[in-house]
Amino acid sequence: MSGRGDDLLVGLVALLLVPWIVWTMVRGLRDGRLPIARSHVARAERSGAFNVLLGLYALVLALVAAIAIDLLLGVRLLPSP
């Protein structure tokens, strides 16, 4: 594959990651702990670290969604090399 086929494949993978990231964030807010590597950060124990990690999850969600939109719909949200 090359060109548009690669864009569609990577865009679909990015699109499939979006619900997983949202589910992780919702579950983390509900349970009060977010996963990081093989561990967790609990809101009750380290609220500052929890909030930073939640912000990083939100940033990753926005970037992955922008990549999916960019590659699947051809809307140039991100600069191309």
Residues 17-61 pLDDT 10s: 999 999 999 999 999 999 999 999 999 999 999 999 999 999 999
pLDDT the model gives residue 56: 97
Q: What is the pLDDT of residue 55?
A: 97
Identify the pLDDT of residue 4.
Answer: 74
More confident residue, 77 or 32: 32
Please count the CA atoms within 13 angstroms of the CA of 75 that sit on its side-chain side.
7
Q: How far is CA 38 from the centre of its chain?
A: 18
Question: Using CB atoms within 10 A of its CB, is residue 71 exposed (0-12), middle (13-18) or buried (19+)?
Answer: buried
The residue that leads in pLDDT, 80 or 7, is: 7
Q: How far apart are CA 36 and CA 45, in angstroms?
A: 15
Give the contacts of 35 (CB within 8 A, at least 6 positions apart). 24, 28
- pTM comes to 0.84
